[in-house]
Amino acid sequence: MPDTVSLEEEYDVIIIGAGLSGLSAGIRLSQFFDKVVILESHSIPGGLNSYYTKGKKRELYSSGLHTLTNANVTHRKWGLSLISRSLGIAVEEFGISQPVRNSRITVPELSVEFSNDAELLRGELGAKLGVSADSILAFEKKVIELCGDPFSSNSSSNEFLEQCYDNPIARDLLKLPVFTYAGYAEGDLDLRTFCLLYRSIFIDGCGSPVDMKQFLEVLVSKYKENGGELHFRKQVSEILASEGKVRGVKLSDGREVRAKYVLSSCGAFETSGLVGHVVKFGSPGVISLFQLVASFDDSVAENGMKESLHFVSTASPLKWNFSKEEDLLKVVTFAAQDSYEFPSTKHQLKISCFDQYDFWDGLDRERYKEKKEARKEQLLEFTKSFYPGLNQQKILQFDSFSPLTIKRYTAHANGTLYGGSEKFFDGRTPVENLFLIGNDQGGIGIMGALTSGILVSNYNIILPQG
């Protein structure tokens, strides 16, 4: 995707990063401003939610994509409907397909199924734990209410779950998928984020595009159709500010580009570093990820994985702490990339565990390769304990990435998966007209990131213009 126009010296809005939040902000703002530019340091869009090819047959892989939450329209002012209306992209254009198999949550005591029909999980909790249907419905109603309460970000999701469910097994079952997709800090998760992700997974349901390449092309095409500029291989080395107000950015080649507004998707702590001595804000996180992708010549279901998603915890209770290497395989996620309604000749199984950058930092090339191989074998051994049929199947090729990979492609401190440990839910920073979008604004996941770009643009730039 080469640049087609020259970078100018002045714009209305500069957006740092062509990830999902950057693209959605760009589309939204280009509806109201003539000169919007996105500066991306890499050669393709998407950030961690991107794509690449590997192997002799150049098989396409979608990085970051386990599933896509908010797959169904449940309210015109929420989720997929909000994104579709705000970006001017029809729901059908996103190409989201429904899963063809149920998903599963497993904790040491038992296992339950869930799907895009919320009645399945309700029935499982009732049959296996004696949780009444009324209490589950009351819980879901409260979750939806709290999604619209900005003050819920000051509360604890652990405390909320304890208030709603006496049974610790029920708490762990409901906590595991949400923390897996949103657990940016160890131990606990703010209640607002918990409720947003719970609603996104269990009420709005999950789905998948064919791949991230196709999904991103829809966004890039709409942005350029609106007149927005997208420049690749443009590394921002400094955010320019004076008298407490943003002025623009400086690129690594020394060029300065100015604008009244700057939106940054590179994280709060990282954005603060780009501002330099002017002001400090944000705190780096520590939770990262190791992911292994195995490509098969048969469907993943034929290999014994009958679920679309499978969240596994071997710890009871679930502590959500990964400060020791021996704790890393206590939470593992399986995602079958061919378990959706679209026809697929790619049979990929993603196997993920949480990790920390400190366990990888400072390794020389040879030790790094050895560590990746050892982690791969650990995950494969763990996987085959759940799916012994994999022992009989031919694996065409492997790929994997570590916390170092995440840092390389996102520049997030500590290679964090969900950004820093401090979130700025209104998107505002101490620097006037400099706003955060993406993970550190609270926009976690594919749909969360898209929503982040829209809402920060709406409330901080578009609406104040009148």
Could you state, in order of their start, the residue ranges of all structural domains in the chain?
10-68+211-284+419-465, 111-203, 288-355+361-401
Q: How far apart are CA 419 and CA 189, in angstroms?
A: 13
8 Å CB contact between 286 and 357: yes
8 Å CB contact between 69 and 197: yes
Average the pLDDT over each of 177-191, 260-274, 341-355 and give the range with the smallest value. 341-355
Q: How far apart are CA 185 and CA 189, in angstroms?
A: 7
The better pLDDT of the pair 3, 123 is held by 123
Distances (CA, A) of 201 to 69, 140, 255, 309: 5, 12, 43, 11
pLDDT class of 9 with cuts at 50, 70, 90: very high
Q: How far apart are CA 457 and CA 461, in angstroms?
A: 5
Helix (H, G, I), strand (E, B) or coil at 311: strand
Fill in the DSSP letter of residue 415.
G
Task: Note the residue count of the chain.
Answer: 466
pLDDT class of 461 with cuts at 50, 70, 90: very high
Q: How far apart are CA 108 and CA 244, in angstroms?
A: 53
Average pLDDT over residues 449-466: 95
**Average predicted confidence (pLDDT) for the chain:** 93
Q: How far apart are CA 302 and CA 394, in angstroms?
A: 12
What number does CATH give the domain 10-68+211-284+419-465? Answer: 3.50.50.60
The whole-number pLDDT of residue 346 equals: 82
Cα end-to-end span (Å), the chain: 35
Is 340 a residue whose pLDDT tops 60?
yes
Helix (H, G, I), strand (E, B) or coil at 461: helix
8 Å CB contact between 415 and 407: yes
8 Å CB contact between 285 and 316: no
Question: Which DSSP string corresponds to 157-218?
Answer: HHHHHHHH-S-HHHHHHHHHHHHHHH--SSS--BHHHHHHHHIIIIIS--BB-S-HHHHHHH
Q: How far apart are CA 72 and CA 79, in angstroms?
A: 8
Q: How far apart are CA 438 and CA 443, in angstroms?
A: 5
Fill in the DSSP letter of residue 330.
G
Q: How many CB atoms lie within 10 A of CB 15?
A: 34
pLDDT class of 335 with cuts at 50, 70, 90: very high
Q: How many CB atoms lie within 10 A of CB 125?
A: 24
8 Å CB contact between 223 and 230: yes
Q: How far apart are CA 25 and CA 19, in angstroms?
A: 10
Closest-CA residue to 131 (of 195, 20, 140):
140
How buried is residue 132: exposed, middle or buried, by Cβ count under 10 Å (0-12/13-18/19+)? exposed
pLDDT class of 4 with cuts at 50, 70, 90: low
Is 308 a residue whose pLDDT tops 80?
yes
Q: How far apart are CA 130 and CA 20, in angstroms?
A: 41
Structure tokens that stand for 259 in this block: 């604008």
pLDDT class of 3 with cuts at 50, 70, 90: low
Residue type, 219: L
Q: How far apart are CA 178 and CA 203, in angstroms?
A: 12
* Torsion (CA) 183, 185, 191, 194 in degrees, nearest 10: 0
Is 328 a residue whose pLDDT tops 60?
yes
Is 466 a residue whose pLDDT tops 90?
no
% of the chain exceeding 70 in pLDDT: 98
Helix (H, G, I), strand (E, B) or coil at 33: coil
Please compute, for residue 9, the number of CA atoms within 13 A of its CA located in the half-sphere on the CB side.
1
Average pLDDT over residues 30-52: 95
The better pLDDT of the pair 365, 2 is held by 365
The whole-number pLDDT of residue 1 equals: 46
**107: Cβ contacts below 8 Å, ≥ 6 apart:** 169, 172, 173, 176, 313, 316, 318
8 Å CB contact between 23 and 45: yes
Instruction: State the Cα angle at 1 between 260 and 62, rounded to 5°.
Output: 100
Q: How many CB atoms lie within 10 A of CB 50?
A: 21
The whole-number pLDDT of residue 55 equals: 76
